[in-house]
Structure 1
Amino acid sequence: MRTTDHAAAVVVGGSLAGLMAALGLAKFGIAVTVLERSGPQPRGGAALGGAESNLHRLVGPDGLAGPEATAAALNGSRPHLQSWAQAHGLLRRAAAADPHIDLVHGARVVEAGQDETSAWARTADGAIHRGDLVVGADGHRSVVRRVVAPERPDAAFAGYVIWLGIAEEPELDVEAWPPGMDIFDAGADCLLGYPLAESAPPGRRRLGWAWFDRRRNDLLRATGCVDGDVVQHSLRPADLPASLIAELDAEAAQWPAAWRDAVRACLRRRGVTGTPVAEYVPDRLVRGRIALVGDAAHVSTPMTGRGFGVALTDAEVLADEVAKAVAEARDDAIPAALRSYQDRSLGRARELVESGQRFSRSFAG
């Protein structure tokens, strides 16, 4: 529904992909409402390779500001936006400062739909938000995907879990700080370790890690994290059984000293989340006036290390096509623009997931 001389868009999901899509559209003067089910407080997450250089394309050099940049300036260096929380904080600040973007928190979308002239999203409180288009950026369990691909709406469990944690330097006894990312293969287990916020001074540094584990699938099903072939939710730190904490602590002995200490430090304070890996190879990204971006569009194993970059490209291509459609001002311009977005993006999205599936099949057996 046209509210200004430009289009109006509704973005479902205010995580990384949703905020990037909103910022991309807003750059062209498009009014965007972002519906996010959680509150404004940041959540946890893993590392994002190349986040700073990628985000520079979207928010520009002036957008790379805030606490991380200030801390880096005091130390004479540039910030390294490697954690999910840092990237999300930057995007959220940029979106909050953009007059074209309305961030709505606590808005859980339960249904999406469309007619010939508009698309809409309905939240749990009954409110209906309309626009010229709806962008689904609501993650691997996307509600919006059920409209775009009703014949295959769910991502599939890949057969393993990733334990995630971030250890603070004061809780570690590390003689030599790891200079960069390490990968260790132990057969049934694989560990990725990565220093976070490299611009932080000694004493305030952090080590992030991701432990790929294919032996706990029974636990995932017993706790409801996986139901059949569908991932339902992560195993939260507070829900980790004491027996599992002890098992992981003992198994951490297989990792080199710095990473072993980082894992055990997180286990001691229950700072570990278990995320079952899901995968989704899309057959389509668009239906009418509704489009998907990020994990709503394509779900790949984190082992690819490319999900963030592809989600950013989704946002840029979508914004480019919608902006051209608005300039044309035809009744069918938005659906045509979304089809062009799909033509430019579907192959890249499928390749991303399929490349990760090769690892998953080898690792999970």
Structure 2
Amino acid sequence: MNQQVRTALVIGGGIAGPVTAMALRRAGIEATVFEAYATRADEKGSALSIAPNGLAALEAIGAGRLLRECGVPMTAIVLESWTGKRLAEISTPPELEPMRFVLRTELYRGLYREAERRGVEIVHGKRLVDATETSDGVTARFADGGTATADLLVGADGLRSTVRRLIDPAAPDPQYAGLLGFGALLPDSGLASTGGRMHMAFGKRCFFGLQVFADSSAVWFVNLPHRTPLTTAECARLGPEHWLPVLREAVAEDRSPALELLGRTAPEQFLTTGAVESMPRVPHWHRGRLVLVGDSAHAPSSSSGQGASLALESAVELARCVRDLPLPQALAAYEGLRRPRVERIIRNAERTNSEKAAGPVGRVLRDLLLPVLMKSAKPAKFAWQFDHRIDFTAPVSPGTAG
């Protein structure tokens, strides 16, 4: 097997794919992105947060300005009970840049333009169906009958990754968190700015989040407990005429702006994101010349606020490893660098999801204990997630572990 990686196929053109290709190119590896959508997905998705560690990952490959250009600072998360009682505040460590709230469409466009500027080719209409390895490389086969060959194939193809199945047919499926996601971006909320803070309320029947910006525009989201998972398409088919009354009933008893904001939300502003999901532990991140990055390997639920940031970190670390080490040592080192960190964050997010869907007794205990626990917790307890830096120039050694 020729173990020197000079070329790579990146499967998936969302957020992780272009960043992976840019990182690989910075490492001297020619990378091409193959995207299943026939056209650019500029209008897909709603909004997300990028933590300081995610910004640092972009900085490591000279792309941090993209996030500063499209992101709005989010300095803290304020947790509240359904009664309006303030339970806790989680702030970004003062020595770090704040989290960034960003529209997915704006981040996508920025990354797409930057990747093209750096010479990354992004090919659309290429849905991967299979891959074949030889001693000299790996060949991807697409649904349209086309093929492509390189030294390495990277799966940046999300929660329902085809590459993950090719690596391990017994790999787990995404795990439903018992919640459905909804939200909206409002040009005029009628509310005063929250001063860079995202307010999140553990409601009696759902979880509600809100941030109001300086011009009174706002974003809100709801995580609604639901016994059975529904896809984004299934939620959308029911439409806002079904869901808005359901959500208004769910927040009716909560002492928060939720009911008012739902009343201000026009049907065309309403967004559904379907089931809140995360990936269980994926036993195998790589096999031969195939490797996973981002949500295909490690997807904490949206409760973590770290999904996109972890994907950016992994893209950068993978590039460092295949730059410095031959296969398969490079892929083993990559997994050793990443797995302990991402699995710790996933476990934390799972605990948060259980609190969001708590029953009556669980809500009372949570609201009593959370302020005490947060008051006694030292800032360093949370800083480990945010204060994570990657030195792209540092060499990677065999046997590297996190």
Output the TM-score relative to the length of structure 1: 0.79
Rounded to whole Å, the distance in 2 between the matches of 1:357 and 1:79 is 21
Provide the secondary structure at the position in 2 that maps to 1:93.
helix
- Report the equivalent of 1:162: 181
Which letter does structure 2 place at the counterpart of 1:300? Answer: P
State whether structure 2 residue 360 is matched by structure 1 residue 359. Answer: no
Structure 1 residue 85: Cα displacement: 2.0
Verify the 8 A CA contact 1:48 1:84 in the aligned structure 2.
no
SS in 2 for 1:15: coil
Q: Which amino acid aligns with 2:51?
A: G
Give 1:217 shift: 3.0
Q: Output the amino acid matched with 2:45.
A: G
Distance 1:236 1:359 in 2: 23
RMSD: 3.0
Partner residue of 1:188? 205
Offset of residue 273 of structure 1: 0.7
Query: Aligned equivalents of 1:256 and 1:344: distance in 2?
Result: 44
Superposed displacement of residue 137, structure 1: 0.7
Deviates more, 1:84-93 or 1:16-25: 84-93
Q: How does 1:47-86 map to 2 (within 5 A)?
A: 47-50=48-51, 53-54=55-56, 56-60=58-62, 63-64=65-66, 68=70, 82-86=102-106
Instruction: State the shift of 1:83 in Å.
Output: 2.4
Which deviates more, 240-249 or 56-65? 56-65
The one-letter amino acid of 2:193's match is W
Preserved CA contact (<8 Å) 2:10 2:154: yes
The CA distance in 1 between the partners of 2:242 and 2:101, in whole Å, is 35
CA deviation string 1:172-213 (max 9, x = no partner): 322x12222101011431112234xx5xx73xx632222111
Unpaired segments ≥5 residues, structure 1:
70-77, 226-232, 326-332
How high is the sequence identity, in percent, across the aligned residues? 25
Where 2:333 maps in the other structure, the secondary structure is helix
Tell me which of 137, 155, 158 is aligned to 1:118: 137
Paired AA for residue 227 in structure 2:
N
Tell me the alpha carbon deviations over residues 226-248 of structure 1, each in whole angstroms, 9 at most, x when there is no partner: xxxxxxx5545454263333222
Partner AA of 2:166 in structure 1: V
Greater CA deviation, 136-145 or 251-260?
251-260
Aligned to 1:18: 17
- Residue 138 of structure 1: how far off its partner (Å): 0.7
Q: Aligned residues, how many?
A: 326
For the Cα contact (< 8 Å) 2:200–2:207, is it kept in 1? yes
Preserved contact between residue 284 and residue 342 of structure 1 (Cα < 8 Å): no
1:46 positional shift: 2.1
TM-score by length of 2: 0.72
How far off its partner does 1:95 sit?
0.5
Partner Cα distance (1:84, 1:187) in 2? 29
Measure how far apart 1:26 and its partner are. 1.1
Q: Partner residue of 2:300?
A: 300
Q: Which residue in the other structure is 1:142 paired with?
A: 161
Tell me the CA shift for residue 124 of structure 1: 1.2
What SS does the corresponding residue of 1:272 show, helix, strand or coil? strand
Shift of the 263–25 alpha-carbon distance from structure 1 to 2, 3 Å rule, reads: farther
Q: What is the CA–CA distance in structure 1 between the aligned matches of 2:243 and 2:66, rounded to whole Å? A: 40
CA distance in 2, matches of 1:68, 1:356: 26
Is 2:313 the counterpart of 1:313? yes
Residue 270 of structure 2 aligns to a residue in which SS?
coil
Ranges in structure 2 where 5+ consecutive residues have no aligned partner: 72-97, 359-402
1:344 equivalent in structure 2: 337
Answer yes or no: is 1:210 the counterpart of 2:221. Answer: yes
Q: Are 1:118 and 1:131, in contact at CA under 8 Å, matched by a contact in 2? A: yes
Structure 1 runs (4+) greater than 6 angstroms displaced: none
The alpha-carbon deviation at position 141 of structure 1 amounts to: 0.7
Distance 1:133 1:14 in 2: 17
Q: Secondary structure at the match of 1:249?
A: helix
Shift in Å at residue 79 of structure 1?
12
Question: Could you tell me which residue of structure 1 aligns to residue 270 of structure 2?
Answer: 271
